[in-house]
Amino acid sequence: MLIAAASYSDKGYDQAVFIRGHKILIVDVLLSENYNEITGNVFTDMNSNSIQDSGDFIPQGLKIQTNDSNYFSYISYDGTYKMLVEDNTYNFLPDSNPYYGVNPALNTAAFTGFKQIDSLNNFILHPYVFIQDLKITLAPPALVRPGFNASYMISCENKGTVPVPAQIYFKLFPNTSYITSTATPILQTSDSVLWDIGIVNPGQNKSISVTIKLDTIIQVGDILNSYAQALPIATDFAPSDNNATWESIVRGSMDPNDILVDKRTIEYNTLPSNPTLRYTIRFQNTGNAPATIVNIINNLPIKLLDATFELEASSHPVNIEYTKNSRMLKFDFPGILLPDSGTNNEQSMGFVQYSIRPLTNLVPGDSIRNKALIYFDYNSPVITNYAITAIVQTTSVEEVVINGKLNVYPNPATNVLNISLPESVQPGIVMVYDLQGRLIGQEKVNQVNEMYQLSLQAVDPGMYTIQFISGNNRYSSRFVRL
């Protein structure tokens, strides 16, 4: 049973408390926050006549941001945008694109209070040069389970300024087979599929949903690497983003509404190079009627740099709102009419995917915990799992190796798990994963004794993998929490 309560503060937003079983989850919720709106319209003027006509297009997904990058919004499917700001003066403009100029170069809005709207802040983009530049994204909108089908969404976007006749190539993982797709392949082999998606116009995004089947020989916990490529490569101005990969962990039965991250760990010494995290929030209507409204609320963790947020892909047209002071992202899917899983299982699913960078001042032992609330119509929210990325120390460039099995007792355990650490081991980190491969917790071990006690008070009953990482050494075992 889920019980919800909320309180209101003078800022217009506060915290909602959700009680599920023995767990208490505290979530920031926007109620009626004091903010102002900057609105406008954007289109790309391909024939330079300053009029939006049939040959022009809407740069859906283009980022609009203040020149200090503290506030941002995204162009919706109809060409409009809405940016939420506070009481101040703001200069703002579309995200930089070397292929397009923008008129005006920037717009300005000034506010002396709250709940004000500054409208007609329009921008017109026009091409500088004639460039071919495709980008591909790959997202897993369905579960990956042995013996079952799994669906991927492959999207090809034309970021350039000229129409491109495009193809999509998809590489099959061993022990998987192609089942079907929303487009008919022009070539199919035992380990790959090729589609011709026709002309992709500037600013256009074409997507293919492809379904594969996993052989029963694949085990829960195995890694399924997927790969897609946008063709042609030889004439592409920036071919690095013509390739996309996604690493999925093969899972057992689980809640289809979840959040995934593509990196479970980040090495501490790579933080200065600004690594990227890619999050996918997946949802499925498991009710008994179509959902006419789907909203996702995602409060960005403070260890992520919000100004680096970039929308990567979505299963349906999506509008995005971001509120700076509460760090609340809202994804709204207008007119989605999502069927229920009993009527159409494949079409009952959806997702949104974005990339973002962590702060560079994090230290080993820190972790980034991200979760989301998914609303179907006016029902109580579905609260996802945490997607956790740990910051780990690497003492050399040597590969971390499995050195042996940890001795843990009692097993099964209730409130405390005793870990017998190897002799002469250095301080390190204890990590606990569920059977779906998700990191659910970690602790620093600063003083190494023969026995270390790990509290299981916040761990749900079930089976888990525990790892102890010390330098280049890794020790692991499994335990059951009663």
Q: Is the pLDDT of residue 401 over 50?
A: no
Please give the Cα distance from 178 to 413 (Å, whole number).
43
Where are any strands of DSSP class E within 190-315? 192-200, 205-214, 223-231, 243-249, 258-261, 265-267, 277-284, 294-299, 304-314
pLDDT value at position 4? Answer: 38
Q: Share the mean pLDDT of the chain.
A: 83
Q: With cut-offs at 50, 70 and 90, classify the pLDDT of residue 346.
A: confident
Q: Mind listing the pLDDT tens digit for each residue in 367-378?
A: 899 999 999 998
Q: For residues 143-151, give the mean pLDDT.
A: 80
Which of 184-198, 349-363, 384-398, 441-455 is predicted least confidently?
A: 384-398
Question: How confident is the model over 264-286, as pLDDT tens digits?
Answer: 888 888 898 889 999 999 999 98
Q: Is the pLDDT of residue 9 over 60?
A: no
pLDDT at 341 exceeding the cut of 70: yes
Structure tokens, 278: 């890619």
* pLDDT tens-digit series, residues 84-138: 999 999 999 998 888 899 999 999 999 999 999 999 999 999 998 889 999 999 8
Q: Where in the chain is the domain with CATH 2.60.40.4130?
A: 36-123
Q: Burial of 399 by CB count in 10 Å (0-12 exposed, 13-18 middle, 19+ buried)?
A: exposed
Which of 280, 288, 304, 449 shows the shortest CA–CA distance to 369?
A: 304
Region(s) of the chain under CATH 2.60.40.1510? 130-254
Q: What is the share, in percent, of the chain residues with pLDDT greater than 90?
A: 40
* Residue 193 Cα to chain centre, angstroms: 26
Contacts of 68 (CB under 8 A, 6+ apart): none
| Phi, psi for 272 (deg, rounded to 5) | -60, -20
What six digits make up the tokens of 40?
């406008």
Overall fold of domain 395-481: Immunoglobulin-like (2.60.40)
Question: Of residues 252 and 314, which shows the higher confidence score?
Answer: 314
- Give tens-digit pLDDT for 25-65: 434 444 346 789 999 999 999 888 999 998 888 887 789 99
**Residue 21 pLDDT class (50, 70, 90 cuts):** very low
pTM: 0.65
- For 320-334, the pLDDT digits (tens) are 999 888 899 999 998
**Mean pLDDT, residues 443-459 taken together:** 78
* pLDDT tens readout for residues 68-86: 888 999 998 889 999 999 9
pLDDT of 10 reads 36
- Judged against a pLDDT cut of 60, whether residue 157 lies above it is answered with yes
**Tokens standing for residue 451:** 């026995």
How much is the average pLDDT of 401-429? 75
Domain(s) labelled CATH 2.60.40.3080 in the chain stretch across 395-481
Fold of 255-392: Immunoglobulin-like (2.60.40)
Q: What is the pLDDT of residue 39?
A: 96
Query: Quick one: DSSP state of residue 112?
Result: S
Classified by CATH at the fold level, domain 130-254 comes out as Immunoglobulin-like (2.60.40)
Residue 78: per-residue pLDDT: 87
Q: Taking residues 406-414, report their average pLDDT.
A: 80
Residue 421 has pLDDT above 60, yes or no: yes
DSSP-derived letter for residue 390 is E
Top-tier CATH class for 36-123: mainly beta
- Give residue 25's pLDDT: 41
